[in-house]
Amino acid sequence: LQTFISHASVALQNALLFQEIKYQASHDALTRLYNRRHFFQQAELLHGQGPLSVIILDVDHFKSFNDTHGHAVGDLVLQRVAQACKEVAAGSILLARYGGEEFVLATNSTGEAEELAERLRRGVESTRVSTESGETLSVTISLGVAGGTSGVENLLKAADEALYRAKESGRNRMVAAAWQT
């Protein structure tokens, strides 16, 4: 009985370790969102089901959070933005940390992407981050939206260009690209 329990315990530990490794391979450690690699895998599957919408968002003036308040506050900002996005985009939407201070979403609900982007913008805008010194910081994001039937890479490129236009035109706004075919 003792030998059986010992073997069962090792098997259970291995199974739990495998689950943890699997989780770490598909998730960002800081935000607990999906990572970029997992996003691409899943976005391709979504794209195979029909038209796709992609939203790329970037934290406005993120460098100033790190430079002024330190990297711990910068990390907290990223975590709060991720949490706000999860709350707004709950459901069948693929949400991931794209890199640095950028996040990306994909959905087959192409008709609602611009509305979703605006809800994300407002949700993050209402987010506050408190520093250890007691200061309360506001966070805003800029977003680029693209939808269509072209490949995931093309949609990401169009959404990224729209994001750039949102930043150029004053930040804390959403810009949509033309439908991509």
What amino acid positions are annotated as catalytic residues? 101
Tracing tokens 């800081």 back to the chain, one arrives at 30
- Rounded Cα distance, 129 and 84, in Å: 12
Residue 133 exposed, middle or buried by CB count within 10 Å (0-12, 13-18, 19+):
exposed
**DSSP readout, 30-83?**
TT-SB-HHHHHHHHHHHHTTS-EEEEEEEETTHHHHHHHH-HHHHHHHHHHHHH
- Rounded Cα distance, 104 and 152, in Å: 12
Comparing CA positions, the residue from 159, 165, 61 lying closest to residue 107 is 159
Buried b / exposed e across 108-123, counting CB within 10 Å, b at 16+? Answer: bebeebbebbebbbeb
